């Protein structure tokens, strides 16, 4: 809920810019939050829609402060008899008898700058109401940064579970020590020493075998078989023929050496085709019946986490934002929290959210109007058209919907998650 001082200042700014409807909405909201706020009732009287609303506001001021000079002068200027101290009007409209002579009253205390401006504004509106009505002049467009205002945004926080009450809170100014990753320098030195010892042992095994004997026989050395002495010192067969050395083949006449057949290369089997899964059907928004969830519940859709964090973060602020005019009748400003887990830096998709009222009417978001109404780091982090980093951190996004007057129980839900949603506002005036 917005602070009373913030609502009062927003209403004063709107009144000074000439936006009476927006100022009247803000002062009415403030008087509902704080029924005893005299400043709010005085400003509401200054931007009242008609004499009856102005008289009711001034009479409320006198109920709270029977000696308030601004309220007394305002009612006298309207020709309304002043109410009695008990809050009831006199039964007769005749002038009361003159009071007995009293000591001279003390001079009134000096009015503040805001009270002087309220008195001047009230007088100006009285003159304006006395003039004949004519076609309204062209509206002076307010600066984009002043269009559509919401209560100040709470500090951004990452979607982490709440801290247990038994765990002491850590000082925010204390810097966290960066986590070390990878092996340390000492581990690298130890691994290098082990590798060097293994290499030395391998060299000793190869060149200095155990026992000091000769090394292994090379594979190309051939050991001759013992022969039987014969003529010429050659090995003799029983028939007296010479025996060729082992490993040597004597070719015979007519022998042919068969050539090896070329090996067949294996043929790779074609990969089996995988069936493509069909996407699940999406329920049209007009047929969706989302179940309401608690405010602050985190939901997921299409790689995005989203939630509606506060029941007062939806507000109807008239039918004009910058150069844009509501086609349905009213602009509804909504603040949501999202976290981008899609893997791509991108704005929140234009048709991601859907707004549906109890009458079954569906409303789409207006990103171009959001870009005019948003004030980054004041009423939201970003607008609807601003890219959001894919880092999983919570970011507040300013949404604007064009809704019809008289809509009730407006439900906000994701187009691709139509089974759950948030009731953001009970009714639109």
For position 87, what pLDDT does the model report? Answer: 45
E-only strand ranges, 6-130: none
For the beta carbon of residue 73, count every other beta carbon within 10 angstroms: 14
d(CA 427, CA 384): 24
CATH of 4-89+110-133, one of 1.10.357.10, 3.10.129.10, 1.25.40.10, 3.30.1490.20: 1.25.40.10
Residue 247 confidence (pLDDT): 46
CA–CA separation, 353 and 417 (whole Å): 10
Q: Is the dihedral of CA 379, 384, 388, 393 positive or negative?
A: positive
Domain with CATH 1.25.40.10 in the chain: 4-89+110-133
Quote the crossing angle between the two packed helices 38-46 and 20-33, to the nearest 10°: 160
Instruction: Report the C-alpha gap between 242 and 228 in whole angstroms.
Output: 10
User: What tokens were used for 28?
Assistant: 């009415």
387 touches 372 (CB < 8 A): no
For residue 328 the two structure tokens come to: 């349905």
Residues 6+ apart with CB under 8 A from 115: 42, 70
Looking at residue 400, its pLDDT comes to 96
CA distance 336 to 374: 13
- Reading the chain (429 residues) residue by residue, the pLDDT tens digits are 567 788 888 888 888 888 888 988 898 888 888 888 888 888 888 888 888 888 888 889 889 988 888 888 888 888 777 766 544 444 333 444 444 444 444 454 555 555 555 555 555 455 445 544 445 455 555 555 554 555 555 555 444 444 444 444 454 444 555 555 666 788 889 999 999 999 988 888 887 766 555 455 444 444 444 444 444 444 444 344 444 444 444 555 555 555 555 555 656 566 666 666 565 577 898 899 999 999 999 999 999 999 999 989 999 988 999 999 999 989 999 999 999 999 999 999 999 999 999 999 999 999 999 999 999 989 999 999 999 999 999 999 999 999 999 999 999 999 999 999 999 999 998
8 Å CB contact between 334 and 412: yes
Alpha helices in 131-273 (DSSP H): 185-207
CA distance 415 to 401: 15
Domain boundaries for CATH 2.60.40.1240 within the chain: 286-427
* Backbone CA torsion sign across 216, 219, 220, 224: positive
| Assessment of whether the complete model's pTM goes beyond 0.75 | no
Euclidean distance between CA atoms 397 and 394, whole angstroms: 10
* Whole-number pLDDT of residue 336: 97
Q: Which two tokens mark 418?
A: 């139509």
pLDDT at position 73 = 85
Query: Which CATH fold would you assign to the domain 286-427?
Result: Immunoglobulin-like (2.60.40)
């Amino acid at each position: 809920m917005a602070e009373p001082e913030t609502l009062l200042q927003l209403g004063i700014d709107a009144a000074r810019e000439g936006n009476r409807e927006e100022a009247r909405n803000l002062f009415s909201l403030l008087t509902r939050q704080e029924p005893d706020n005299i400043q709010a009732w005085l400003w509401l009287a200054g931007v009242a829609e008609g004499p009856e609303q102005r008289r009711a506001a001034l009479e409320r001021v006198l109920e709270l402060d029977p000696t308030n000079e601004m309220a007394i002068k305002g009612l006298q200027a309207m020709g309304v008899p002043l109410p009695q101290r008990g809050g009831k009007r006199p039964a007769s409209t005749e002038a009361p008898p003159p009071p007995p002579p009293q000591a001279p009253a003390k001079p009134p205390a000096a009015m503040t700058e805001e009270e002087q401006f309220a008195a001047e504004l009230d007088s100006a509106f009285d003159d304006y109401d006395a003039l004949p009505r004519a076609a309204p002049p062209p509206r002076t467009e307010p600066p984009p940064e002043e269009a559509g205002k919401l209560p100040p945004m709470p500090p951004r926080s990452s979607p982490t579970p709440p801290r247990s009450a038994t765990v002491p809170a850590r000082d925010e100014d204390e810097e966290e020590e960066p986590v070390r990753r990878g092996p340390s320098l000492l581990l690298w030195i130890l691994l290098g020493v082990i590798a060097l010892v293994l290499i030395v042992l391998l060299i000793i095994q190869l060149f200095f075998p155990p026992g000091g004997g000769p090394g292994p026989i090379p594979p190309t050395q051939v050991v001759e078989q013992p022969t039987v002495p014969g003529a010429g010192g050659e090995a003799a067969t029983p028939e007296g023929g010479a025996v060729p050395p082992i490993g040597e083949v004597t070719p015979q006449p007519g022998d042919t050496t068969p050539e090896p057949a070329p090996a067949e290369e294996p043929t790779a089997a074609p990969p089996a085709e995988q069936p493509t899964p069909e996407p699940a059907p999406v329920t049209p928004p007009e047929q969706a019946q989302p179940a309401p969830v608690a405010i602050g519940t985190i939901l997921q859709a299409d790689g995005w986490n989203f939630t509606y964090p506060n029941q007062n973060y939806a507000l109807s602020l008239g039918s004009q934002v910058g150069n844009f005019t509501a086609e349905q009748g009213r602009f509804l400003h909504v603040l949501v929290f999202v976290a981008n887990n899609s893997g791509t830096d991108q704005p929140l998709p234009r048709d991601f959210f859907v707004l549906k009222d109890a009458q079954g009417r569906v409303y789409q978001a207006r990103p171009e109007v959001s870009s005019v109404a948003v004030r980054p780091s004041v009423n939201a982090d970003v607008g609807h058209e601003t890219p959001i980093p894919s880092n999983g951190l919570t970011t507040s996004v300013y949404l604007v919907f064009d809704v019809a007057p008289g809509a009730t129980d407006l439900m906000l839900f994701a187009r691709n998650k139509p089974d759950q949603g948030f009731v953001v506002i009970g009714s639109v005036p």
